[in-house]
Structure 1
């Protein structure tokens, strides 16, 4: 077992674990709506065909072929696809995905694999980040392990979306930011690091606009801790240069409609929140009252930390039960504070501490052991604060403050924007996911303090963490089975991608002269960005053609009298073969 004591071996095993947890089942379930947009945008195609007028909407032309569908796209096509399909967001991610699929081919697995890789790289970068800046190999290993098993990272590694890439880039930018400060102290050259930081800033913002919340934290850190003020200048110049480059996307690229669309969406969601908060196509959207924002934000805050994941679900646990658990938990945390310097506890206290964690069980209206975890949270968070106070040197205090800022500012930004826009739609975990690399560090610091506590406290809280480990394992199982709405958006598991299956059947059954018929439902456009040239949907035809050979001449046609079935009409007999019935299987979200 001597080999397991080598940090290099351990981090290698952690990375293997991380990769395995992320690649497992990554292509089992069909694409959900946002992933479908990812695929068409990355190929320079506008969903519903706004830049494919000659394919679908030419007067007198009733059929089309894969060869026509796959005609060569221009840079303008990519810009229009990004503008109409994702408000001009994430062009850097779509560029990476386009290049990836040019090399490795277009498939669901191929589309999701960059997310698997970036999410695994996050784990490795967490290790390097903590080892370099916190100067602790054990802390770095624990932080990397926590990042490896974090359900949020695993769930979003299964999505062909920008998030995993953005999480990696923002952590890399923070790493470069701190390296620059370190080089300034030692007098070493920093020009190359400024260039790297500026490029990372540009690519990060163009991978997701909300990455700006991380760079806001960088600015706050500079204002609080970088002295003298003249040292702000190179960072300011780098930021200005980076923003100037990004602004080109908003002036000349697919971001030209971004702010107009964001304003329209804010008005739309506010109207929905006021008129039909529960019965609409977007999910539950509530007016931004203090109570509604708190209710929506609580699970987001709780799920930021792996040991409190799931503890903010008021609808499942009940407010009364949560209040009872926290009341006993606060008393237990008082004991932790009272005996924080003791090596051993009096027998009465040793018995009382676990009793307090369990004392609410007879009073709860629902028999849920998650409430025991909730009762332990005040003690666990107190240990986190205690670790931050005790186990960091004076020169590391700014780093601790920086880590806390990075852990909370993205979610606070969402809350502020909710009040500004008048609705709760944007308060969701994926928009504050940039915080997770830093929360795993804070949890690792808490664990470091826990092992130094008296045996009774350590044992009781350790058992609670084992219980929470069971809940995390169950959550991962639900993610893999595609039935956890918090992370997968679905309670009924998706089947395999129906459009991919149809494409395989077409390649198997099609003979020259046959015709493929696609259902074409009537569309209701909300704004000019969504508007196309045809009042009926071409989405099922587009999504199937993604998986057909680019040089094929299969004859295809839209059928506006059918809304669900994709059919193959044999040329000789006129027989219709139902290739797939899409009713209830389009996986919209």
Structure 2
């Protein structure tokens, strides 16, 4: 193994951070905001989507940007979060609010917190591995930390969500930080003498509790990570004082969180979640293929498995995209069988002193044998075959380099890699529908999976060349797939990651606002469309007016806050923003949304 000095290691880390930032900044503002990002933009400004807390603005026949931008109170922010995002993510919205206050309104500015947290995650992951896997020795842990950081740098999921103004990159960073603090606490419980070496145990518990609260306030499902911490404690913590300290920390943290649910924006959460469960379950039972929300199936074991396999597969970069290959039982069974055969050869001759000549060709022959037989996506099935011995390499790495004292650490790593997705599948079964089975809700697992993949790569590097070469070739093929996937993400043509298979245009609201700013004259009137709204629930989706206000709201976000432009909603116009000349009455179309074509999922 090549020994990496600390100076050279940090130089490589710096280059990785530059690469990570570049990948996340590239084309970050090219495509306009989609529906969830509209919620981010409005909620962060204390504005309820469809104007529930702006009655005094929209009740009048005409309104102005100055009236729209009247000062907002804390109650406005709670109202906006409650009605527009079921009380979720107040910490993230606070970060976005502060950021936009400093750097202004634009799609790039709106997405920059995601870019920053996604980049910071790379550095945190490096130091996480260096700190908690140092028992491997300096050379090996440096290599493992850099490999983990590199895998996270090019991980398509991280790159895609750095381009989306939502809470996910922030939650990934915070939950990894929480796990780091938790492991430091566990380390000091096992070795009390370390408490005086750096931060004291009280400081660590306080920091852990603060990160716990902030994480939950960035997304409710971060609780799955803390569930893993709790399972680890149940399995391995045998210290009454530590249990008392953790219990006190958790109790205080939950007490703070509960205040949000009792008196803040979270009071609407459970009612909404219960309604949504019934709503989507009804669709799954009555109209699974014809709803505007996509395919929603009843939560049978088969349906959950079909939806869950791609989620698990795409967690691991070496298996990204093979979910489509596993829909055919015969093809996937053959690929897995050939992969198991290759794994058996790998295990048999890993350290054998005498190797027969024929053994050199067995692994490549087994991996390639299915190509003439596979009836669909043969390249993906080849990757599936190669993934089996790669999983063996991860297991071999743990077996060879983790002694009994380190087994709790790998147990925690595995819990964090799998429990969030298993929790998601359990909730789908409990709710009776498959709508919520989506990668972003279990994305907290990705940093830990990056470490496991890095272990497999490092173990591969230590294998005999003739054992390693065919598996490495499959990994190179998979890297080509990852490169193409990144290209699709940048082109806005990767529905799983960007929600779109056709590229969006640049933000029409921002463009229209710039045109209005340059052309509006006193006496002119701006008319906004009244897109027909579908009311799914009077209790949840209710607005005080039958008119659709969202287009007007999003336009006013980009207009000068002190402007006195005369504006109104045109009840008879579904699609166009129109400027009416105050002297001649001429109507100028500023932008035509053409139905939902440019409303991004609205």
- Which residue matches 2:109? 110
Kindly report which structure 2 residues correspond to 1:305-316, keeping only aligned pairs within 5 A, or say none.
305-314=316-325
CA distance in 2, matches of 1:344, 1:116: 52
Instruction: Return 120-129 or 359-368, whichever deviates more.
Output: 359-368
How far off its partner does 1:349 sit?
1.5
Q: Is the 8 A contact 1:214 1:434 kept in 2?
A: yes
Please state how far the C-alpha of 1:395 moved relative to its aligned partner. 1.7
Q: Give TM-score, length-normalised by structure 1.
A: 0.97
**Larger deviation: 180-189 or 213-222?**
180-189
- Structure 2: gaps (5+ residues): 135-140
- Picking from 534, 547, 550, the partner of 2:545 is 534
CA contact (8 A) 1:269 1:423 kept: yes
How far residue 338 of structure 1 moved from its aligned partner, in angstroms, is 1.6
Alignment counterpart, residue 357 of structure 2, candidates 347, 362, 367: 347
How many Å separate the matches in 2 of 1:539 and 1:182? 51
Say yes or no: does 1:175 pair with 2:188.
no
Compute the displacement of 1:448 (Å). Answer: 1.4
Number of the residue aligned with 2:234:
223
What residue number does 2:224 align with? 213
> 1:314, CA displacement in angstroms?
4.3
Q: Distance in 1 between matches of 2:352 and 2:430?
A: 48
- Give the corresponding residue for 2:168: 163
Q: Provide the rounded CA distance (Å) in 2 between the counterparts of 1:22 and 1:151.
A: 10
Q: Does 1:560 align with 2:571?
A: yes
* Closer, same or farther: CA 344–191 of 1 in aligned 2, 3 Å: farther
The answer to whether the aligner puts 1:63 opposite 2:85 as a matched pair is no
Is the Cα contact below 8 Å between 2:325 and 2:377 reproduced in 1? no
Aligned positions of 1:222-241 closer than 5 A: 222-241=233-252
User: What's the offset of the Cα at 1:370?
Assistant: 1.7
Instruction: Give the C-alpha shift of residue 24 in structure 1.
Output: 0.8
CA distance in 2, matches of 1:344, 1:318: 39
Instruction: Show the counterpart of 1:330.
Output: 340
Question: Could you say which residue in structure 2 is the equivalent of 1:132?
Answer: 131
SS at match of 2:498: coil
Whether 1:44 aligns to 2:43 is: no
Q: Distance in 2 between matches of 1:72 and 1:344?
A: 79
Q: Aligned Cα RMSD in Å?
A: 1.6
Which residue of the partner structure matches residue 588 of structure 1? Answer: 601
**Aligned mates of 1:541, 1:523 — CA distance in 2:** 14
Following TM superposition, by how much is the alpha carbon of 1:170 offset from its aligned partner in structure 2, in angstroms?
A: 0.3
- Could you say if the C-alpha distance between residues 367 and 428 of structure 1 is closer, same or farther in structure 2, counting changes exceeding 3 Å? closer
Deviations 1:437-472 (A, max 9, x none): 100000011111111222112110111111000000
Q: How does 1:171-570 map to 2 (within 5 A)?
A: 171-184=176-189, 185-187=191-193, 188=195, 189-314=200-325, 318-342=328-352, 345-366=355-376, 368-525=378-535, 526-570=537-581
- CA shift for structure 1 position 573: 1.5
SS at match of 1:369: helix
**Cα deviations across residues 289-314 of structure 1 (Å, max 9, x unaligned)?**
01100000000000111111001124
1:391 Cα deviation from its structure 2 partner: 1.5
Q: C-alpha separation between the residues in 2 aligned to 1:486 and 1:8?
A: 34
SS in 2 for 1:486: helix
Measure the CA separation in 2 of the matches of 1:296 and 1:314: 13
1:79-94 paired onto structure 2 within 5 Å: 79-94=78-93
CA distance in 1: counterparts of 2:391 and 2:212, whole angstroms: 32
CA distance in 2, matches of 1:342, 1:566: 74
Runs of 4+ in 1 over 6 A off after TM superposition: 1-5
CA distance in 2, matches of 1:274, 1:340: 52
Map Cα deviations across residues 516-539 of structure 1 (whole Å, 9 max, x no partner): 111102323213232111112011
Q: CA deviation at 1:350?
A: 1.3
- Do the aligned residues in 1 keep the contact of 2:118 with 2:173 (CA within 8 Å)? yes
1:29–1:497 contact (8 Å) kept in structure 2: yes
Distance 1:576-1:264 versus aligned 2 partners, 3 A rule? same
Deviation at residue 426 of structure 1 after TM alignment: 1.3
Change (3 A) 1:574 1:237: same
Contact 1:518/1:567, CA 8 A, preserved across alignment: yes
Separation in 2, partners of 1:190, 1:212: 23
Asked whether the 8 Å contact 2:345–2:362 carries over to 1, the reply is no
Do the aligned partners of residues 478 and 413 (structure 1) sit closer, same or farther apart at CA in structure 2, a change above 3 Å counting?
A: same
Equivalent pair of 1:522/1:535 in contact (CA under 8 Å)? no
Q: Is the 8 A contact 2:325 2:380 kept in 1?
A: no
- Distance of 2:497 and 2:533 partners within structure 1: 29
Residue 21 in structure 1 maps to residue 31 in structure 2: no
For structure 1, list consecutive stretches of 5 or more residues without a partner in the other structure. none
TM-score by length of 2: 0.95
Distance 2:353 2:169 in 1: 43
Matched-pair contact (CA < 8 Å) for 2:578–2:589: yes
8 A contact 1:344–1:454 mirrored in 2: no
Show CA shifts across 1:310-347 (max 9, x none). 011248x7443222222211211121122222367432
Confirm or deny: 8 A CA contact 2:533 2:548 kept in the other structure. yes
Q: For the residues of structure 2 that align with 1:387 and 1:175, how far apart are their CA atoms? A: 22
Alignment partners' CA distance in 2, 1:277 and 1:238: 44
SS in 2 for 1:516: strand
* Post-superposition offset of 1:481: 0.4
Equivalent position SS for 2:497: coil
The whole-number CA distance in structure 2 between the counterparts of 1:529 and 1:83 is 10
Output the CA distance in 1 between the equivalents of 2:503 and 2:457: 35
Matched, 1:9 2:19: no
Distance (Å, rounded) in 1 between the aligned partners of 2:432 and 2:325: 22
For the residue of structure 2 that corresponds to 1:566, the secondary structure is: strand
Q: Tell me how far apart the structure 1 counterparts of residues 371 and 6 of structure 2 sit (CA, whole Å).
A: 41
